[in-house]
Structure 1
Amino acid sequence: MKLRSIVTGTALALLVSGGVLAQDFDLEALIEAAKSEPPLTIYDSTGKIVDMAEGFAAKYGIEATGTKSKATAQMETIIREVRSGNVQTDVSLISDPAAVIGQLLPAGFVESWVPPDLEADILPEARDPLLVVSSPNIFTYNTNLFETCPISNIWQLTEPEWKGRVSMQDPLGKPSYTDWFNQMRSYADDKIKAAYEARYGKPLESEFESATEAFVAALASNGPLLTDSDSSAAEAVAAPGQTEPFVGLVSAAKFRDNEGAGFTLGLCAGMDPIIGFSNATVGVIVKGTNSPNAARLFMHYAMTAEGIAPQAQDGKVSSNTTVGLPDDEPSGVGAHLDEVLHYNPATGLDDWETRQDWQDFWRIHYSR
C-alpha cells in the first residue's frame, strides 16, 4: 500500500488509494501547511466566487483571489498551463461535469479530492468526481399573467398552444442542455413515457428509440424561443411590462431579479414528471499547483455551509446533505428538489461523447 503525505509539518495526513484515511485526517495540520504556501487562485463560472474567496481569506488568513470565468475558458486555461508547466490556477469550479469527466480527469490535468471528515455527509454519487453544488434549471411562468403555472405536464411544451412561447437557452451553445437530454434518456425515460400517456390517454408510439428523443424532437419542432443567456430567457417570461404569456426554463438564480429588477417569475411546481434539471459544478485541483494544501483547504471550505453560502443564496444546492438552502432563497426550489432531475456523473462520459449527436438531433428537428 503506497502512502504519501499531503501536508508538511509535524502532523501528517496519509493519502491511501486516492483518499485520506478519515481517522488520520488533521484539519489543523492542513491549515498550518496551507499558510506556508503561495496565494491561491480560484475560478468559477459565477461571480459569487469572489465572495467565497474573500470569506476563505478572512477565515484562514490565506490570500486568495476568486475570478469569474466560463467553464470553457477555465478548461482551456488549465490545459494550457499544465502543458506548459506554468500552472497559475490552483482550484477550478467547473460547471461542465461531462467535460471534466471526459477530458480533464482522464488526461491528468486535474484531480478530485473529497474532504475526508465531510465525506460521510456528501452524497455518494457526488464524490467521484466531487460535485460541489448543483444548479437547478427550472420551468417558470409569469405570476402577473397566471395564478398558477399553466403547464402541468412536460408534454404541453410540445403542443400548438405553446408554439414559439417557450424560452430557453440554445442547446447548440449550452452543453448542459444536451447533457440534460442525455440524462433524461438515461434516468427518466420511463417517466417521460408515462407522462405522455397521462396527458393523452394512450401509450407513446414513436419512430424514435426512446421517449426522451420523441420529446426533444417535438419540443424542437415547436419552435421555442432560443436565447444566449438565462437572463434573456427570464426576460421573455416575466420582465416588467411583459404581456405575452411565455413559460421558460431558467436557472433558479434568476429569481433574484424578482426583487432586483421587478421580474415576476414563478416556479412551475408539480409538473409531471419533472420541473427541470440540475447542472452540477465539479471542484478540481489543478495538477502542478504550488499550493496543494491551500487548494485542498479551499475545497474543504467550499463543502461547508459557511463556504457555499454566497451560492446557496442563488438556489445552488450543496452536495453536503447537512447544508440546506436559506429560508429566504427567492425561487423556493428547496421545497421541490425531489421534482428536479439531478445530475448523475455515473454517465458523465456518455454525456460527453453524445453531445454532438444531441446537437445534430436538435438541429435537424428545430423549426420556427
Structure 2
Amino acid sequence: MFKTLKAALLAAACVPGLAAAQDLDRMSSDELYALAKEEGTVTVFSLSSRIARVEKAFEEAYPGIDLIGLDLSSAKQIARVVAEQEAGVHAVDVLYMADAPVVLRDLLAPGRIHTYVPPRVADQLDAQFKAPLLVHRLSTKVLMYNEAAYPDGSPITNLWQLTLPEWRGKVMMVDPTQRGELLDLLTEIALHPDEMAAAWKAQFGTDIEVDGDLTGAGEQFIRNLFLNDLVLVSNSDDLSKAVGTKDATDPPVGFGTYSDRRDNEEEGWALQVANDVEPANGILFPAVLAVADKAPNPAAARLLIDFMFGDDSADGGPAFAPFNVPGDYATRTTIADDPDSVPLEELNAWTINTEAVAENRARIADLIITLQ
C-alpha cells in the first residue's frame, strides 16, 4: 500500500499543474499577492449578496486586482460550473456556496473544485471545517417570527404547532425545490424521527401514528406541514418582509435565515429567531469556499479565500464584517460572534449531517413533489 501511495505522489509531482497548485497552497498572502497582481482579476460566484461589500474591501486591501462578484444561489452555481466545465469552459475562480451534500457529490468528488486551506488560518480552524470542504461560516435555516407582533416571545414552542388549524396558511418557506438549503432542512427533520415523535407526544399527549407510506415522524411532519397550506415563496426577501414587517397584523412565521435580522433597522423589520422550540428550530449548515478546477486566476483565487477569513482582530475586521452579524457563526476560532447572536452553543438547531442528508434528500424531494 505504501509503495502505491509513494508512486502516486511521485506521479502527481510530475504533473506541472498539480505541482503549481501545491506551491500556491503553501504561499503566504504576500507571495500570493505578487502573483495575483500579474493575473489582475478574480471572479467569485457567491451565495450571498454581501459579496459586494467584500469586493470593496478586497480591492482596497489589494490594489491592482479587480474582484468580480456574481450573486448566485448554490443550486445555480453548481449547475453552471458543471455545464461550463463539461463544455471545456473554466471562467470562475472561487465558489462561495452552501448545499454541501450536492457540492460533495457533484463538484468535489469529480474534481470540479479543490479545497484550499489558507496557511495563515489553518491552526485556527477545527479539523471538521478544513476537510473535505473548507467551511467559512455556519449559517441557518430556522424558524423566524415577528418580535413586534409577539413581544413576549415566539408564538411557536413546538414544531407540531405549525400543523394546527390556527396556523393554516401562516407558515412560510422558500420553495425547497428551488433552494437546496430548504430541502436540506426538511431532510434533516426527516432524519430525526425519534425527536419528532417525542415532540408530538409533548404537544398532543399521545403517541404519533405515522402514515403507512412514510418512514418516521419527521416525514409525517413534512406531510402535515404541506397539508396545512404551507406558503412557498421564491426568495428570502419576500419571506422576511412578510414575517418581519413591524406594523404587520397577525403576521406569519417562516423558516428563514437568522442573519436576515441584520436588516431589521434598514428594512423596518422585527425579525427574531424562535429559539425555544421543541425539538429544534431548524438547521445549521456550512457555507463553504472552494477553488474552481483550472481556475484562470489561481493565485488571486487563494488570496481572496485567505482574505475572506478576516484579519486578526476580534471581529475579523473589514474582510469579515459582512458576515459578522447576528445568526452567522465564524469557523475561525479567533473571531467573536456578534453580541446580538444567540450563542452558538445555545442555538437550538440541528447541525446537518452532510453525508446522511446527501443519501436521503432525493427521497424527501420526491415526497415534497407529491405534496405541492
TM-score, structure 1 as length reference: 0.84
Q: After TM superposition, which residue ranges in structure 1, 4 or more long, deviate above 6 angstroms?
A: 5-8
Aligned to 2:302, which of 275, 296, 300? 296
- Work out whether residues 5 and 14 of structure 1, in 8 Å CA contact, stay in contact via their aligned partners in 2: no
For 1:60, the equivalent position in structure 2 comes to: 62
Q: Which residue is equivalent to 2:42?
A: 40
Against the structure 1 CA distance between its residues 165 and 108, is the aligned structure 2 distance closer, same or farther, given a 3 Å change threshold? same
Could you list the per-position Cα deviations for residues 165-197 of structure 1 after superposition, in whole angstroms to 9, with x for gaps in the alignment? 1122222322222211222334x3332222222
CA distance, structure 2, for counterparts of residue 276 and residue 209 of structure 1: 20
Distance 1:172 1:289, change over 3 A: closer
Matches within 5 A, 1:237-248: 237-248=243-254
- How large is the RMSD of aligned CA atoms in angstroms? 3.0
Alignment of 1:111-190 (within 5 A): 111-127=114-130, 128-146=132-150, 147-186=152-191, 188-190=192-194
* Residues 99/335 of structure 1: CA separation in 2 closer, same or farther (3 Å cut): closer
Residues 69 and 130 (structure 1), Cα distance of their counterparts in 2 relative to 1, 3 Å cut: same
Does residue 92 of structure 2 align to residue 89 of structure 1? yes
CA distance in 1 between partners of 2:174 and 2:21 (Å): 45
Report what 1:316 is aligned to: 328
The partner residue of 1:209 within 205, 209, 215 is: 215
Residue 336 of structure 1 and its aligned partner are, at CA, apart by: 6.5
Residue 227, structure 1, aligned to residue 200, structure 2:
no
CA contact 2:52–2:69 (8 Å) conserved in 1? yes
Preserved CA contact (<8 Å) 2:163 2:224 = yes
Seq. identity, % = 24
Does the 8 Å CA contact 2:98/2:288 hold for their aligned counterparts? Answer: yes
| Distance of aligned partners of 1:260 and 1:74 in 2 relative to their CA distance in 1, 3 Å threshold | same
Sort the Cα spacing of 1:170 and 1:14 in 2 relative to 1 into closer, same or farther, 3 A: closer
Which 5+ residue runs of structure 1 have no aligned equivalent? none
Task: Give a deviation string over 1:38-69, Cα, whole Å, max 9, x none.
Answer: 41111202221122122222223351222222
For 2:322, the aligned partner's letter is P
2:111 pairs with one of 92, 103, 108: 108
String of CA shifts for 1:281-323, please: whole Å, max 9, x gaps. Answer: 2211111113222212221222232333212236322222332
Tell me: CA distance 1:172–1:86, structure 2 relative to 1, closer, same or farther (3 Å).
closer
Given candidates 341, 353, 369, the residue that maps to 1:344 is 353
Taking the aligned partners of 1:229 and 1:14, their CA distance within structure 2 comes to 37
Instruction: Give me the whole-angstrom Cα distance separating, in 2, the residues matched to 1:240 and 1:74.
Output: 34
User: How far apart are 1:152 and its partner, in Å?
Assistant: 0.8
1:342 deviates by: 2.2
* Equivalent of 1:359 in 365, 368, 371: 365
Kindly state the Cα deviation for residue 103 of structure 1 after the two structures are TM-superposed.
0.8
Give the direction of change, closer, same or farther, for the CA distance of 1:274–1:27 in structure 2 (3 Å limit). same
Equivalent residue, structure 2, for 1:199: 203
Q: Is the 8 A contact 1:42 1:53 kept in 2?
A: no
Q: What is the identity, as a one-letter code, of the residue corresponding to 2:284?
A: S
Structure 1 Cα separation of the partners of residues 122 and 223 of structure 2: 40
